[in-house]
Amino acid sequence: MLRICSPFTIKPLQRNFLSDKKLMQKELEKYGIQTILTKPEELTIKTINKYLEIKARGIL
């Protein structure tokens, strides 16, 4: 059965989804796993910046 969500239910779902992603990111980073939390269209720029950050810290 297809349910149509109202705008009043979509915003809280989006906030929960983002919150869950941030929690996953923090958990992974506790174990030394580098992550990039970004929009797909910003991925290239953020990936390069993260690489440069890691390189500057001497992790690579």
CA atoms within 13 A on the CB side of 4: 1
Q: DSSP code of 26?
A: H
pLDDT at 2 over 70: no
Mean pLDDT value of segment 31-49: 87
47 Cβ contact list (under 8 Å, min separation 6)? 36
The residue ranking higher by pLDDT, 15 or 34, is: 34
Sequence-ordered alpha helix ranges (H) in 1-60:
7-30, 43-56
The residue ranking higher by pLDDT, 59 or 10, is: 59
Question: Model pTM?
Answer: 0.56
